[in-house]
């Protein structure tokens, strides 16, 4: 078939903003700890808890030789860092890092630090080794005073290894907290910095904005603070004040995605990263309506007031003069200059549009009264179609919202068929922030479908003002969500085909659309094999009658779980069982996925997946 494209260079289309394409960073798939945050020690402050993940203990990732116990008492380092390790005389602890271990490179320097409380005159010996022997010369640290103090040492790696271990041994009884090892060679050599290869992959995109920190991470869990009055609650929504200041005072939290988040990568680091890569920072704050299956509207005026004040304080933290309360804290962290925050998003995919809007309007009114130059972005609910989406859009229009965040994850075929989605959007209504989208898969065809779709975004650049693929990162050994743009383990990273497409568009943002017309639509053909995954989210989640049918009606997979489930392969860390003809998750982790390979063909890719949920998520 012949296809033709006609371009009219004399006609002018919409202007394309330099900020049009950006990235969305969420701490999912261990994107932060064990990922972008360069810390090499896992569970450095012994705060892992069964609240984070049923399989965790305060000694997860550590092994003890001799005597050691994790203590939670008034002798702690500070009130927000509850646990510490009490190590017996002549004993040691060894950390296993992430993935296969601590990765070091021959010739590079690694900075160790620890908070320790021992008897003045005693000493710690710190070693970095793998099964082949030492990776660097051991360091001896003299304990200089009786109370808590921070000690440092550095290692020059004499060998490359991806299976390193860090051991701290004490000659006398000593308490330890915040045991840390960083590569000196972080992105831009910043302290408490970011892993260089991952940060460079983002920088190479030249993103126009960085949306952070989530996603479901933001508006799930309790909206309470971390305090004695709240019972030192874990499983809190992401609250930015928890994440700034000295790292040893940042109370860790249970990540919605089933693990512990140290908050070593916090709001200061996000702002700094956005600045470093030349992007506009775009933080998301919770609106006191939980989402992502939790779907509760929190009715507590005092708490709402506090969160609104936190949002105003966030603008002051980002932009305020060093004489202001929060500007001073930013300066104390090393950045007296402002971060030039101009956009804030309130909420993420709320399933209760009326309740969300009642709260959104209050956030927006407060921000606009104090900072009229800050644009407050709203959203359109969890789905891109259906009643919540329709109601949310009606409310957004009625409230004359500046910009609405839409999210969708669909088949490549959907992306090819919906290139014209924004052609008919109301030009006088709110602008669109396509904050999360991806076609289901990381293959070349996915990148191709997204590239085709992005031409539709660009053609409508007068309506679609911002767009970001999601999620950004996945550690290959801790996956809750796939596909993802950039994959990594403890020593390597690689971009997907989708990453290359994003890079192509982001590094070639035009000034203005040149109108064009095309004849014909190329067809899709060619066989590929595929797999179907079923993910569950919490204990007791149960599914029955899973089926996948192709566009032409053929059944590709069907399982009522009445037989055995041996045809399914289990991935992730969760466990499951088949009970009473249902697939049931038996532990509380968000990483529970089982996959069945099938013979899916390209032209069948418009798949219809059905599963009956009998309980849970």
Phi, psi (degrees; rounded to nearest 5) at 117: -135, 110
Distance CA 27, CA 237 (A): 13
Residue 198 CB, shortest distance to ligand AHR, in Å, is 17
| Contact by Cβ (8 Å): 560, 545 | yes
Binder to ligand AHR among 21, 26, 513, 591 (CB under 6 A)?
26
- CB 473 to ligand AHR: min, Å: 11
Cβ distance to ligand AHR smaller for residue 177 or 484: 484
Nearer to ligand AHR, 33 or 47 (CB): 33
Per annotation, catalytic residue among 47, 248, 349, 406: 349
CA distance 190 to 194: 8
CB contact at 8 A, 192 and 249: no
Given CA atoms 202, 207, 210, 211 in this order, what sign does their dihedral have? negative
What minimum distance in Å lies between the beta carbon of 291 and ligand AHR?
A: 8
Per-residue x/- mask for ligand AHR, residues 503 to 542, rule CB under 6 A?
----------------------------------------
Whether residue 500 lies in the annotated active site: no
* Angle of CA points 445, 447, 448, to nearest 5°: 60
Closest CA to 353 of 314, 404, 309, 304: 404
Q: How far is the CB of 364 from ligand AHR (least distance, A)?
A: 20
Select from 110-118, 213-221, 417-425, 459-467 the region that touches ligand AHR (CB under 6 A): 213-221
Q: Smallest gap, in angstroms, from Cβ of residue 320 to ligand AHR?
A: 29
- How many whole angstroms separate alpha carbon 185 and alpha carbon 166? 18
Q: Which stretch binds ligand AHR (CB under 6 A): 11-19, 110-118, 128-136, 212-220?
A: 212-220
Region near ligand AHR per CB under 6 A, out of 190-198, 209-217, 227-235, 502-510: 209-217
Pick the closer one to ligand AHR by CB: 316 or 345.
Answer: 345
Q: Does 213 bind ligand AHR (CB under 6 A)?
A: no
Cβ–Cβ under 8 Å, residues 53 and 258: yes
Q: Is 52 helix (H, G, I), strand (E, B) or coil?
A: coil
- Residue among 48, 112, 271, 481 that touches ligand AHR (CB under 6 A): 481
Q: Would you give the distance in Å from CA 509 to the centre of its chain?
A: 26
Residue 436 C-beta: closest distance to ligand AHR, Å? 5
Residue 177 near residue 107 (C-beta atoms within 8 A): no
**Shortest Å distance, C-beta 469 to ligand AHR:** 10
The token duo for 178 is 């915040």
Which of 279, 293, 276, 265 has the alpha carbon at shortest distance from 30? 265
Nearer to ligand AHR by Cβ, of 45 and 53: the residue is 53
Q: How far apart are CA 317 and CA 311, in angstroms?
A: 10
Q: Cβ(343)–Cβ(372) under 8 Å?
A: no
Determine, following the binding rule CB under 6 A, whether residue 436 of this chain makes contact with ligand AHR: yes
**Among the candidate windows 67-75, 210-218, 273-281, 364-372, which touches ligand AHR by CB under 6 A?**
210-218
Q: Does 406 bind ligand AHR (CB under 6 A)?
A: no
Q: How far apart are CA 143 and CA 123, in angstroms?
A: 5
**C-beta of 216 vs 352, nearer to ligand AHR:** 216
Single out the residue of 174, 224, 348, 375 in contact with ligand AHR (rule: CB under 6 A).
Answer: 348
Q: 């095309």: which residue's tokens?
A: 518
Kindly state the smallest distance separating residue 471's Cβ from ligand AHR, in Å.
Answer: 4
| One residue of 34, 193, 215, 286 binding ligand AHR per CB under 6 A | 215
Site string for ligand AHR, 439-478 (x = CB under 6 A): -------------------------------xx-------
Q: How far is residue 564's CA from residue 8's CA, in Å, rounded to a whole number?
A: 61
Q: Please spell the DSSP secondary structure of 231-283, one letter per residue.
A: TS--SB---GGGG-SSGGGS--EEETTTEEE--SS-HHHHHHHHHHTT-EEEE
| 211 is an interface residue for ligand AHR by CB under 6 A | no
482-500 burial, b if ≥16 CB within 10 A, otherwise e?
bbbbbbbbbbebebbbbbe
| Residue 214 in the binding site for ligand AHR (CB under 6 A) | yes
Q: Does 349 bind ligand AHR (CB under 6 A)?
A: yes
- State the minimum distance, in angstroms, from the CB of residue 483 to ligand AHR: 10
| Residues 557, 534: Cα–Cα separation, whole Å | 12
For ligand AHR, what does the binding mask look like between residues 300 and 339, x meaning CB under 6 A?
----------------------------------------
Integer Cα distance of 520 and 4 in angstroms: 8
Can residue 216 be called a binding residue for ligand AHR (CB under 6 A)? yes
Query: Among residues 93 and 470, whose Cβ is nearest to ligand AHR?
Result: 470
Tokens at 162, concatenated: 């991806």
Q: How many residues bind ligand AHR, per CB under 6 A?
A: 12
Q: Which C-beta is closer to ligand AHR: that of 349 or that of 355?
A: 349
Q: Which is nearer to ligand AHR, 466 or 584 (CB)?
A: 466
Is 255 among the residues that bind ligand AHR (CB under 6 A)? no
Task: Name the residue nearer to ligand AHR (CB basis): 293 or 515.
Answer: 293
DSSP structure string for 107-127: T-EEEEEEEEE--TT-EEEEE
Query: Is residue 404 involved in binding ligand AHR (CB under 6 A)?
Result: no
If one asks whether residue 221 binds ligand AHR (CB under 6 A), the answer comes out as no
The least CB distance from residue 35 to ligand AHR, in Å, is 15
> Which of left, alpha, beta for 121 (phi over 0: left; psi -120 to 50: alpha)?
left
| Omega within 30 of 0 (cis) for the link into 215 | yes
Which tokens in the block code for residue 41? 């020690």
- At which residue do the structure tokens 């603070």 appear? 225
- The footprint of ligand AHR (CB under 6 A) covers 26, 28, 214-216, 348-349, 407, 436, 470-471, 481
Give the residue numbers annotated as catalytic, written as ranges: 349
């Amino acid at each position: 078939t012949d296809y033709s494209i006609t371009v009219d260079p004399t006609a002018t289309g919409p202007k394309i903003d330099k900020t049009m394409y950006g990235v969305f960073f969420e701490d999912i798939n261990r994107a932060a700890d064990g990922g972008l945050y360069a810390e090499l020690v896992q569970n450095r402050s012994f705060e892992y808890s069964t609240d984070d993940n049923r399989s965790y203990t305060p000694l997860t990732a550590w092994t003890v030789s001799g005597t050691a116990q994790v203590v939670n008492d008034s002798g702690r380092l500070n009130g927000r860092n509850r646990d510490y390790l009490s190590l017996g005389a002549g004993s040691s602890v060894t950390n296993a890092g992430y993935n296969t271990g601590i990765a070091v490179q021959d010739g590079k320097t690694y900075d160790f630090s620890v908070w320790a409380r021992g008897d003045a005159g005693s000493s710690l010996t710190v070693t970095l080794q793998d099964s082949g022997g030492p990776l660097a010369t051991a360091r001896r640290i003299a304990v200089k005073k009786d109370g808590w103090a921070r000690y440092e040492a550095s290692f020059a790696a004499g060998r490359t290894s991806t299976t390193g271990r860090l051991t701290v041994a004490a000659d006398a009884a000593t308490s330890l907290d915040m045991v840390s090892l960083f590569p000196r060679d972080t992105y831009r050599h910043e302290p408490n910095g970011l892993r260089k290869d991952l940060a460079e992959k983002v920088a190479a995109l030249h993103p126009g904005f960085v949306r952070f920190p989530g996603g479901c991470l933001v508006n799930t869990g309790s909206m309470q603070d971390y305090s004695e009055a709240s019972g030192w609650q874990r499983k809190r929504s992401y609250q930015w004040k928890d994440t700034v200041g000295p790292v040893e005072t940042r109370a860790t939290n249970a990540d919605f995605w089933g693990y512990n988040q140290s908050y070593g990568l916090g709001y200061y680091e996000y702002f700094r990263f956005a600045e470093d890569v030349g992007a506009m920072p775009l933080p998301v704050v919770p609106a006191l309506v939980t989402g992502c299956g939790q779907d509760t509207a929190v009715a507590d005026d005092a708490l709402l007031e506090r969160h609104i004040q936190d949002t105003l304080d966030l603008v002051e933290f980002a932009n305020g003069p060093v004489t202001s309360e929060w500007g001073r804290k930013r300066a104390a962290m090393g950045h007296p200059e402002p971060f030039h925050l101009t956009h804030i998003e309130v909420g993420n995919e709320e399933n209760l549009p009326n309740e969300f809007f009642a709260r959104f309007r209050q956030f927006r009114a407060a921000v606009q009264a104090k900072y009229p130059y800050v644009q407050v972005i709203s959203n359109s609910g969890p789905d891109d179609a259906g009643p919540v989406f329709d109601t949310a859009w009606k409310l957004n229009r009625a409230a004359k919202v500046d910009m609405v965040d839409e999210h969708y994850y669909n088949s490549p075929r959907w992306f090819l068929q919906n290139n014209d989605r924004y052609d008919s959007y109301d030009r006088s209504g709110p602008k669109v922030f396509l904050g999360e989208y991806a076609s289901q898969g990381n293959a070349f065809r996915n990148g191709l479908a997204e590239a085709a779709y992005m031409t539709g975004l660009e053609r409508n650049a007068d309506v679609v003002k911002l767009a970001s693929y999601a999620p950004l990162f996945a550690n290959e050994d801790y996956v809750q969500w796939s596909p993802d743009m950039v994959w990594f383990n403890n020593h390597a990273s690689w971009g997907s085909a989708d990453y290359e497409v994003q890079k192509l568009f982001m590094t070639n943002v035009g000034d203005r659309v040149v109108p064009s017309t095309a004849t014909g639509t190329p067809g899709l053909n060619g066989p590929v094999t595929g797999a179907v995954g079923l993910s569950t989210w919490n204990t007791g989640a149960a599914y029955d009658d899973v089926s996948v049918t192709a566009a032409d009606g053929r059944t590709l997979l069907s399982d009522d779980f009445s037989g055995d489930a041996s045809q399914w392969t289990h991935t992730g860390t969760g466990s499951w069982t088949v009970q009473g003809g249902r697939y049931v998750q038996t532990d509380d982790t968000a990483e529970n996925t089982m996959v069945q390979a099938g013979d899916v063909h390209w032209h069948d890719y418009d798949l219809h997946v059905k599963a009956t949920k009998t309980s849970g998520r």
